[in-house]
Structure 1
Amino acid sequence: MLTSAPSLSLTDRGGLRHNLLVGLVGVALVGVVEFGLRLAGASPPNDLFLRQDLETAAVYVANPQVTHRFFPPGLRRAPVAAPFAAAKTPGTVRIFVLGASTLVGFPNPPGTGFPKFLKLMLADAYPEQRFEIVNCGITAVNSHCLLDFTREVLGYDADLLIIYAGHNEFAGPYGPSTPFAHVGNARPLIRAHMFLQRSYLYSALQELAFALPRWLSGPAPAFNLQLVTEQVGVFDEAHATTVDNFRDNLADMLTAADRQNVPVLLGTLVSNLKDFHPLRSVCGATGGPEGLRIGETIVGLNGHTGATENYLRSVLQEAPECAAAHFELGRLYLGTGRPAQARAAFVTARDLDRLPLRAPSILNQVVRDAGRTDGSVVVSDVEAAFSDASPGGIVGNELLTEYLHPTVRGHYVLGRTLVTGLPAFAAAQGWGQMRPSAIRSFEEYRALLGTTGLAEALARNNLILFLINMPYSSPPIILRERVADLIEAQIDAVVGLPAAQRQQFLGRGGAAFLAQAAGFAPGARQPHLQALVARLQRDRG
C-alpha cells in the first residue's frame, strides 16, 4: 500500500539549515584562505610562462617553478625555454616544441638538442620565412603535464606545435611506476588531483607534506632513476590503463589545437634496442631471479652458439615474458647474421621490460593512429628514420647515448626527420618553396653549435655517472662494458683538448671521477683503465 513520504519536522529542518550554514561558512573560509594565499604569493605560479613587461616590450619567460605541482623538492627541474615576445613579429612562424628531457638535450652539452637543429635547418630550408622556435622541454614530464602546457601555449599565438613525448608515461608524474605524485591510475582521478594542485591552499598543504619527512629523516633524495622501482608487466591492468591515459591525453591535446586551428607535428618515439639490456625481467627457475642467471650461463657456454640458443629457448619455454632472454637471443641472432630476427627479439625485449622507461611499441602505435588525413595532424616517423640510419636497421649506441636519449648526431637525425615532414601541412605552402637540398650535413651544423671540447667532456662524465646509476638490481655486463668504453673514449678526448681546457677538466675533478668510475668496469679491464687515468692525472701540461 502506497503512503505519502513523511514530512520533515521543525527540528529536522533546523538541523538541515544548520548543516548547510556550516558548510557554506567552511567553503567561504577556504575561499578566503585561498584568496589570501594568492594575494601574498604564497605558492609558485602554475603557468609554464610568465609575462614580464619590460621598458621596450612585453615578453614571456619560462616559469622556473612550474614543476612544483608535479615533483617533490629536490626532484624539480626548470624549463629551458628562452624568453619570447608577447607580440609576435608580423610574418613570423611561431613553433612550440613540447616534450621532456630529449628536448633539453640531456645528457649532451646545452644547446645541442633537436630544437636547435630545427632552427638552423628551417632557416636553410625556408630562407624566405622567419621562424621562432620555443623549446618547452622539461625533464621527466609526461602527457599528463603536457596537456596542461599545450592548452596554455596555444594562447601565445602559436602557428605549429611539435610534440615528441611518450617515454615517461609509466615513470613520470602520476604513472604507475612513478616515484613522484601518484594517486592511482584512473585518469579522472589524476585530472581532479591536478586541478586541486592548482589551488594555493592545496599547494601549501602539499609542500607541508613534502617537508615533514625532510624534517624527520633529512634531505630529499637527488634526482635519480634508481628511485624508479615499481614494476609493471605488459599484461598488467596498470599497463593498459597507462596506454589509455596517453591516448586520451594526446587526443585532448590535438582537440585543443584543432579548436585554435593550430596544426600539430607528432614524432614517433625512438629507443635503444641493440645496446640496452632490459631493467627488470621475470625469467623463472631456468633464468634465475630477474634473469640474473642468464648472463652467467651464457659466459659459461664460451660462445657456443647452438648451446646458447638452446639454453635461451629453454628459458623462454618456461618464462615467455623473460625480457632478458629475448634480449640475449637478439644479440645471438645479430652475431650470427640474422638481423630481422634480431630486431624482432630486441623489440620484444623492450616491450616486456618490467621497468618501462622506454616507450613500448603500443605507444608508438597510438602516435601513428593520431595522424589525420586532412593534414591538421602529421606524424613524422622518427623511429623509422633512426632505424634507417643505424647499422643493420637496429637502433643502438651509434645514435643513442643510453636507453633513449639521442647523441648529438641523433638529434640531427631527429631534427631533419621533423623538418622533412613539414610540407604536409597546408600552412607550409605560405612559407615559400622548401629546399630540402639546402639542409646541410651534421658536421656543418655541429660546427655552428659552438660547443667546446671541454663541454663535451663534462657531458660525457655526466653520461658515465648516469649509466652507473641505472636502476638495475645487478648491472649487466653489457652496461659495464659500455662504461669502460666511454672511459677510454673520454681519456682520448681529454688528451686531445687544448691545454687550458684540459686543466679545467682536471681542476673540476674530471680525472678523479674517471678513476672512481673505472671500478664499475668489468674486472679484467679495470687495471688498464686505472693506468690510463693515472697517466692523465700525471700529464697536466
Structure 2
Amino acid sequence: MSERVNKKIIHIIRVVGKSLLFYLVAPLVTLLLIELLLRFGGYGDEDELFTRSKAHPNSYSIKSDYVKKYFPFSEVEPDLSNDTFLIEKPANGIRVFVLGENASAGFPWLPNGRIALIMSQILQETFSENRIEVIDLSVPGINSHGMLNLMSRVVKYEPDAVVIYPGHNEFYGALGPVSVDNVGTNREQIKLYLRLQRYKLFQLLKPLFIGSSGDTTGSRNKTESLIETIAKKVEVKPEGELYDKVLENYKSNLREMLEIANAAGIIFVGGIPVSNFSGKAPFKACYENITDIVKWRDEVEKGKAFLFEERYEDALLYFSEAGERYGVNSELQYYSGLALQGVGKRPKAREQFRKAVDNDCMPFRAATEFNREMAAMFRSHGQPFVSVGLHFDTTSVGKARGDEHFVDAVHFTLKGVVILVERITSELIVRFGGIRRPKPSSEDIDKMIVRAGMTQIDYAIAELRITDLRARWPYKERERTVPSFSTFRSEHVEELALDVKEGILSWEEAHKIYADSLYDLDEFGNAEGDYRALVVANVGDVVPYLRLAELLLHKGYLDEAYELLERSTRISTSLFALKWMGSILLGNGLSVDAISYLAKANKMEPSDKEVLYNITVAWIETDKIEEAKESFKELYQLDKEYHGIFSLAERIRSLSDE
C-alpha cells in the first residue's frame, strides 16, 4: 500500500475519532452544565443527612427532608427525632447512632419511649464523666435498604458505635418489593437510585427514571396509617422466588453494613428482631396446601370453639385431625399453639407460634430464617448481637412472648422496650470497657419507665394510637372507630391526648399546656412529671427546664437543679438560671466559679437584690474587698433593710480593718 493511501486512512481515522469524541463529550458537558445551573439556582434538596442546628449552632441536627428519598411515591413524611450532637466531638465523648424503624422509634410511646433515649440515660449513668451522645436515626417505615444508606453516611461523624434494629419491614417497608415505594427488587438498582439522589439533575428527571417501577396509588392520604400508605395488599408466599430474593437482599445489606463498621473500627451491635408470638394471630394465612378447605374449616372452627371454652385437650384433637387429614397452615399452627399452651406443653406451643409467624403470608414480622441469618452474619464478622426472645419467653405468663411485651405484633410495651434497651446497652457497656449490667428486675424496669418521663398524657396518647392501628389494615379491614379510653383519666388529659392524636396539638404543646395549668394551680408535684417529660425529650423551649429546676430547688435537690439550669443555658441564657447557678456554687464553697455566673446575672439585671447580695458574699470570700464594697453600695441604695445586709456590712468592715 502506498504512503499516500496510508496518510489518507490515518486522516479519515482522525476525523472520525474527533467526531466520535465530540459526540461523546458534548452530552456529558451539557449534563454537567445543567447540573451546575440547577445547583446555582437552588433547585431540589441537598442530599445531606445532618445540618447545623439553628437552636444549637455548635451542633448538628437531623435534616428532616433527607429521608424523603425513601418514599418516592407515597410522599410519607415520617417524624424524626430532634437529637443533636456536637460538630467537634469532645475528647471524652461517646457517640452512638441508632438505626431502626417503627419499633425503635418508640411507637406508640414516642418520643420518650425511644430506644435511643433510654439508652442514653443508661450510658450517662454508667459513664458519668463522659459526654454521651446517642443520636436516634430510626425512621418509621424503612427497612435495611434505607439503613444501609444511613450507615454509609454516619461513619464520617466519628461514631464509637452503631446500633441497629432491623428485620420487620423488609417486604412491606419503603423500597421493599411489596411497597408502593418500590423502585425494583434488584439490590444494586436500589443502591444506585439512592446514590443518584445527590445530583440535582436526577432529582429533576426522577419521575422518568423510576416512574415505571413505582405505584402512584400510594399517594399520601392523611387519614391513613403509615403502613396503610406504603404497603401493598399483596400476599408473599414463605417459600417462593420473591421471599428468597428479599432474604438475599437482607443478608447483603447486613454484610455491607458490617464491612463498613469493621473497616472504620466501629462497634456495631445488632438487635435481633422479636415479635408477638402468642398474642397475635397471622395477618394472612395461605390455604393452597389445604386439600379440602370446607372440611378443614369445619374441623378448625370446632377446635376454636373448644379453645375459647378453655377445653384445650378437645381443641387439640380437632386441630390435629384437621392437620392430618387436610393440611397445615399458619392459622392452624397459631391456634394449636394456644391449645398446647393451655395444657402446659409450653415448648411445643412456642414451636407452633414460631411456625405460625414463619408461614404468615403477610410477613410483617421477621421470620426465624431472617433472624438466624442476621445472627450468623454478625458472628462471622466479629460483631456483637443481642436476642431478647428467650428473655421475653421466660418472663411471659404462658412462657411464650406475648402481650406482656408487645402492644401489637411488633411494637413494644414499655416493659418490652426497657428489657430490649437494657440488653443492647449492656453489650455496649462491655465493649466500652465497663461491666455487664445484670438483667433488670421488675422494680428496675418500673424505675426506668418513670425516669423516661412517661406521664398520664403519654399513656392516653399511646392507647389512642394503638387502638387506631388495630382497627386498620393489616390488622383488619378499615373500620371507623370512636376514640375512647379503657382507663379513666382526667377530662383535661383525655382532651389533650385526642388533640395530639388528631394533629391539632403537638406532643410538646400538650405537655406544656397541662404542666403550666397544674403549675398555675400550685399543683407542683403533678406539674413536675410533665415538665420532666419535656426535659427528657430535649425540647427546644427553656421554660420546662426552668420550671422543673424551680420545683427541685423547693425540694432541696440542688445538684439536679443545677444540672437542669446548666442545660437550659444551652438553649437560652436567663436571669433565673444564672443567679441560681451562682447561688448553688456559692453554697458549695466555689466562690470563684459563682462570680462568673453572678456577674453575668448582675449585668442582665442590675437591680436584682438577691444577685447583689450573693455576689457581694462571693467577693468577700475571694478577698476582693473593693469589688465587695461596690456591689454592697448598689444593694444598700436599693434596699437599706435587705435581709442580712447589716451582717454583710460588718464582714466588709472587718476585712477593711485588717
Which TM-score applies when normalising by structure 2? Answer: 0.66
Please state how far the C-alpha of 1:509 moved relative to its aligned partner: 9.0
Aligned to 1:204: 204
The correspondence of residues 358-437 of structure 1 with structure 2, limited to 5 A, is 358-372=365-379, 377-425=383-431, 428-429=432-433, 436=438
Which secondary structure state, in structure 1, belongs to the residue aligned with residue 485 of structure 2? helix
Q: Find the aligned partners of 2:117 and 2:218 in 1 and give their Cα distance.
A: 40
* Structure 1 residue 75 displacement after superposition: 1.8
3-state SS of the aligned residue for 1:163? strand
| Largest Rg, 1 or 2 | 2
Report the counterpart of residue 148 of structure 1 in structure 2: 149
- Which residue number corresponds to residue 162 of structure 2? 161
1:275-330 CA distance string (max 9 Å, x none):
111112212456749x9878645455675645543443354346756111111111
3-state SS of paired residue (1:202) = helix
Which aligned pairs between 1:213-232 and structure 2 lie closer than 5 A? Answer: 220-221=220-221, 222-226=224-228, 227-232=231-236
Helix, strand or coil at the partner of 1:161: strand
Moved more, 399-408 or 174-183: 174-183
Q: CA deviation at 1:198?
A: 3.4
Using the alignment, how far apart are the partners of 1:509 and 1:25 within structure 2?
55
* Deviation readout 1:18-75 (Å, 9 max, x if unpaired): 4553343222222222222233332222232123588x75321111111221103532
TM-score by length of 1: 0.79
Q: Shift in Å at residue 207 of structure 1?
A: 5.6
SS in structure 2 at match of 1:275: coil
CA contact (8 A) 2:269 2:384 kept: yes
Trace 1:61-460 onto structure 2 (pairs within 5 A).
61-71=61-71, 72-184=73-185, 186-206=186-206, 220-221=220-221, 222-226=224-228, 227-284=231-288, 288=293, 296-299=301-304, 303=309, 305=312, 308-317=315-324, 322-372=329-379, 377-425=383-431, 428-429=432-433, 436=438, 441-460=444-463
Which residue of structure 2 aligns with residue 28 of structure 1?
A: 29
Counterpart Cα distance in 2 of 1:373 and 1:472 = 37
CA gap of 1:387–1:39, structure 2 versus 1, over 3 A, is: farther
Instruction: Give me the whole-angstrom Cα distance separating, in 1, the residues matched to 2:164 and 2:501.
Output: 38
CA contact (8 A) 2:274 2:389 kept: yes
Which whole-Å CA distance do the structure 2 matches of 1:402 and 1:469 have between them? 12
Residues 294, 324 of structure 1: 8 Å contact kept:
no
The residue aligned with 1:466 is: 469
CA contact (8 A) 1:232 1:356 kept: yes
Equivalent-residue separation in structure 2 for 1:76 and 1:423 (angstroms): 34
Deviation at 1:404, TM superposition (A): 0.5
TM-superposed deviation, 1:237 = 1.7
SS at match of 1:370: helix
Does 1 or 2 have the higher relative contact order (CA < 8 Å, sep 6+)? 1
Residue 491 of structure 1 aligns with an amino acid whose one-letter code is F
Equivalences, count: 484
Distance 2:93 2:87 in 1: 13
Shift of 1:211: 10
User: Does the C-alpha gap of structure 1 residues 308 and 92 become closer, same or farther in structure 2, counting only changes over 3 Å?
Assistant: same
CA distance in 1 between counterparts of 2:58 and 2:409 reads 41
Change (3 A) 1:9 1:73: farther
How far does residue 130 in structure 1 lie from its aligned partner after superposition? 3.6
- 1:81–1:507 Cα change, 3 Å: closer
Q: Supply the AA of the counterpart residue of 2:90.
A: T
Q: What is the DSSP-based 3-state SS (H/G/I as helix, E as strand, rest coil) of the residue aligned with 1:26?
A: helix
> 1 CA distance for matches of 2:362 and 2:60?
37
Distance 2:128 2:500 in 1: 42
The change in CA–CA distance for 1:313 and 1:19 in structure 2 (over 3 A counts) is farther
Shift of 1:409: 1.4
Which secondary structure does the structure 2 equivalent of 1:390 belong to?
A: coil
| 1:180-222 deviation line (CA, Å, top 9, x unaligned) | 12312x322222232233332222233689999xxx9996334
Output one character per residue of 1:422-466: Cα deviation in whole Å (capped at 9) or x when no partner: 3542xx22x5x5665999712212222223212321221111111
Residues 165, 218 of structure 1: alpha-carbon distance in 2 compared, 3 angstrom cutoff: closer
**Aligned-partner SS, 1:230:** coil
Whole-angstrom CA distance in 2 between matches of 1:343 and 1:189: 39
Secondary structure at 1:131 match in 2: strand
Q: What is the aligned-residue RMSD (CA, Å)?
A: 3.7
Residues 44 and 68 in structure 1, CA contact (< 8 A), matched pair in contact too: no
| TM-aligned CA deviation for residue 129 of structure 1 | 3.7
Q: Which amino acid aligns with 1:46?
A: D
1:500 to 2:506 alignment? no
Identity percentage over the alignment?
21
Deviation at 1:417, TM superposition (A): 1.0
Aligned residue in 1 for 2:536: none
- The 1:437–1:344 alpha-carbon spacing in structure 2 relative to 1, beyond 3 Å, is closer
SS at match of 1:421: helix
Given that 1:224 and 1:469 are in contact with CA atoms closer than 8 Å, whether structure 2 keeps it comes out as: no
Q: Distance in 1 between matches of 2:217 and 2:438?
A: 58
Q: Which moved more, 1:102-111 or 1:7-16?
A: 7-16
Could you list the per-position Cα deviations for residues 221-268 of structure 1 after superposition, in whole angstroms to 9, with x for gaps in the alignment?
344434332222221122122112111111111111111111111111
Contact kept, 8 Å, 2:96 with 2:134, in 1: the verdict is yes
Letter in 2 for 1:61: S
Cα 1:366–1:417 change in 2 (3 A) is same
Using the TM superposition, give the Cα deviation of residue 341 of structure 1 relative to its aligned residue in structure 2, in angstroms.
Answer: 0.9
- Residue identity in the other structure for 2:485: I
Unaligned runs of 5+ in 1: 1-6, 511-541
- 1:341-390 CA distances to partner (integer Å, 9 max, x unpaired)? 1100000010111111111011211221133489x511122223322322
Tell me the distance in 2 between the aligned counterparts of 1:217 and 1:323: 30
- The amino acid across from 2:490 in the alignment is P
The change in CA–CA distance for 1:373 and 1:358 in structure 2 (over 3 A counts) is closer
Contact 1:234 1:354 in 2 (8 A): yes
